[in-house]
Amino acid sequence: MNEYRYKKIDAFTSEKSLGNPAACIYLENGHILNGDKMLAIARQHKGFVSEVVYCSESSQADYKLVYYSSECEVDFCGHGTIACMYSLIKSTPDLMEKSELVIETNNKGKLTVYNRIPEQDAVYITAPEPQYIGTDLSLEGIAQNLDLGTKQIPKQYPTDIIDAGLRTLIVPVTALEDEIKVYPHEQ
């Protein structure tokens, strides 16, 4: 049985927030796991963390990151990337000296990690390039599923699906009080 370095890390913690937990598995010394094994491990984490990040060596960047939820491989996980890279940089003296690292992601290309641990006790990452997917959802259907009236969604601004690591439906809303009242129908 292989053993891997493992950490559960909370990203975005503060005095007021417990953060967002991610599991990080560091695949070192050329160890690799296939997709089925990564998914099986991620399924064991259901209810414990939302994503598992697998960090390994890369021939194209400083590190390669692959992300899994308990359901499937995911294209990108921002909080997991921050958690994984913060821990890795902070525990590796050679990396602490670098101000930037390049990571290869499984589906979103190369991204830059900015080491600001010495000054701010933080790391920052670039987001994947956004993809504008478009949508054929009707204004009426969107309004109904958000418990809004169609007049509360201005037509002069686009409604679109954008993917910058996570697919998001962007819906303009006329007033802040309308936005605060939005409760999407999850189904």
Q: What is the per-residue pLDDT for 17?
A: 63
Q: What is the per-residue pLDDT for 176?
A: 93
Asked whether 169 and 161 are in contact (CB, 8 A), the reply is yes
pLDDT for 123-177, tens place per residue?
999 988 888 999 999 999 999 999 899 999 998 999 999 988 778 899 999 999 9
Q: What is the per-residue pLDDT for 30?
A: 79
Pick the CATH number of 5-125 from 3.40.1350.10, 3.40.50.2300, 3.10.310.10, 3.30.365.10: 3.10.310.10
Written as six digits, the tokens of 96 are 């602490």
pLDDT for 1-54, tens place per residue?
678 888 888 877 766 667 788 899 999 887 889 999 999 999 999 988 989 999
- Say yes or no to pLDDT of 114 above 90: yes
Q: What is the per-residue pLDDT for 123?
A: 95
| Domain residue ranges in the chain | 5-125, 131-180
For the beta sheet containing 131-132, the strands, ordered from the edge strand earlier in sequence to the opposite edge, are 131-132, 160-163, 167-170
Q: What is the per-residue pLDDT for 183?
A: 83
Q: What is the DSSP letter of 7?
A: E
- Say yes or no to pLDDT of 87 above 90: yes
Residue 112: half-sphere exposure toward Cβ, Cα within 13 Å = 8
* DSSP, residue by residue, 48-60: T-SEEEEEE--SS
pLDDT for 95-110, tens place per residue?
999 999 999 998 899 9
